[in-house]
């Protein structure tokens, strides 16, 4: 057992080694999201399943991404019972929706990047105009805007729209969501999705006719990227952690 100090509860909390690992990894994800410019003051949120428990971890609403530490993450029940009032209500709705519906998913990211919000409002959505985008060919879903996601009834619709296999979803007029079994999987999916949106908007701004590869090529590229991600997952996370440590290793505490 490891002792961590919960900033939310302001008292020592016992956590397992598995939970502490999840806490460190999630805190690193928050710091990396800040590094990549995805923070929206304190209004975005990332979450991690607590191994072996019907709970997940998320930051306290008032915390900036760059302030998140492993010990300060808030532990929340997936069923919402006795929900900690220090967390963002929309964060609970969105992340509990995915984690309840998809038992193989352990990490979920939701961000409001400008490119992502812009593409979310384009009727045709994400276009297959870059290699970054092609990994999402037939692998990204869409959820229509219903207002700020504070209505718990929306969780069922979020889960249905994400589907049983997709690891990326564009929330219409809102932002982006990715998920994965590992922190590297969820983070790389978001990094590529944000980049795909940026590239698309840059190309569309030229007003020139765009080249979109045939469906068979897009599918081949998507399969290749899936294989690459599986093989490089561990090395990618080690690289991400080196970046996070280089910025500020305090996320581990």
**Triad 196, 200, 205: Cα angle to 5°:** 155
User: Given this model, what pLDDT does residue 108 score?
Assistant: 98
Question: What ranges do the domains of the chain cover?
Answer: 2-243
Q: Are 31 and 66 in contact (CB under 8 A)?
A: yes
Q: How many whole angstroms separate alpha carbon 245 and alpha carbon 197? A: 28
Per the structure block, which two tokens stand in for 149?
A: 């996601």
Structure tokens at 21: 């690992």
Q: How far apart are CA 111 and CA 32, in angstroms?
A: 12
User: Of the candidates 103, 142, 113, 139, which has an alpha carbon nearest to the alpha carbon of residue 200?
Assistant: 113
Identify which of 27, 48, 24, 196 has the alpha carbon closest to the alpha carbon of residue 109: 48
In sequence order, the 6+-apart residues with CB closer than 8 A to the CB of 244 are 28, 31, 32, 35, 251
Q: Are 39 and 65 in contact (CB under 8 A)?
A: yes
Tell me the two tokens of residue 150: 């504070």
CB 111 within 8 A of CB 189: no
pLDDT one digit per residue (tens) for the chain, 253 residues: 333 344 333 334 579 999 999 999 999 999 999 999 999 999 999 999 999 999 999 999 999 999 999 999 999 999 988 777 799 999 999 999 999 999 999 999 999 999 999 999 999 999 999 999 999 999 999 999 999 999 999 999 999 999 999 999 999 999 999 999 999 999 999 999 999 999 999 999 999 999 999 999 999 999 999 999 999 999 999 999 999 999 999 999 9
Q: Distance between CA 196 and CA 131 in Å, rounded?
A: 8
Q: Can you give the pTM of this predicted structure?
A: 0.93
How far is 9 from 78, CA to CA, in rounded Å?
18
10 Å CB burial of residue 208 (0-12, 13-18, 19+) is exposed
Give the class (CATH, top level) of 2-243.
alpha beta
Nearest to 76 by CA among 33, 47, 108: 47
For the purposes of burial, counting CB atoms within 10 Å of the CB of 146, is it exposed (0-12), middle (13-18) or buried (19 or more)?
A: middle
């Amino acid at each position: 057992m490891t002792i961590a100090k919960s900033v939310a509860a302001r008292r020592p909390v016992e956590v397992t080694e598995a939970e502490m690992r999840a806490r460190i990894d999630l805190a690193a994800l928050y710091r990396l999201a800040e590094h990549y410019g995805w923070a929206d003051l304190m209004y975005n949120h990332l979450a991690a399943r607590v191994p072996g428990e019907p709970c997940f971890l998320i930051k306290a609403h008032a915390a900036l991404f760059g302030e998140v530490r492993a010990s300060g993450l808030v532990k929340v029940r997936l069923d919402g019972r006795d929900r900690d009032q220090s967390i963002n209500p929309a964060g609970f709705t969105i992340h509990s929706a995915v984690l309840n519906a998809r038992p193989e998913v352990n990490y979920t990211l939701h961000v409001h990047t400008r490119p992502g919000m812009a593409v979310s409002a384009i009727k045709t959505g994400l276009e297959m105009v870059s290699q970054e985008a092609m990994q999402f060919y037939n692998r990204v879903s869409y959820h229509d805007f219903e207002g700020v996601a504070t209505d718990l009834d929306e969780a069922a619709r979020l889960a249905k729209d994400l589907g049983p296999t997709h690891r990326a979803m564009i929330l219409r007029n809102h932002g982006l969501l990715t998920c994965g079994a590992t922190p590297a999987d969820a983070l790389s999916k978001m990094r590529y999705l944000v980049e795909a949106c940026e590239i698309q908007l840059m190309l569309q701004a030229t007003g020139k006719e765009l080249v979109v590869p045939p469906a068979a090529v897009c599918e081949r590229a998507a399969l290749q990227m899936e294989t690459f991600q599986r093989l490089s997952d561990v090395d990618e996370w080690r690289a991400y952690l080196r970046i996070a440590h280089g910025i500020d290793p305090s996320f581990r505490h």
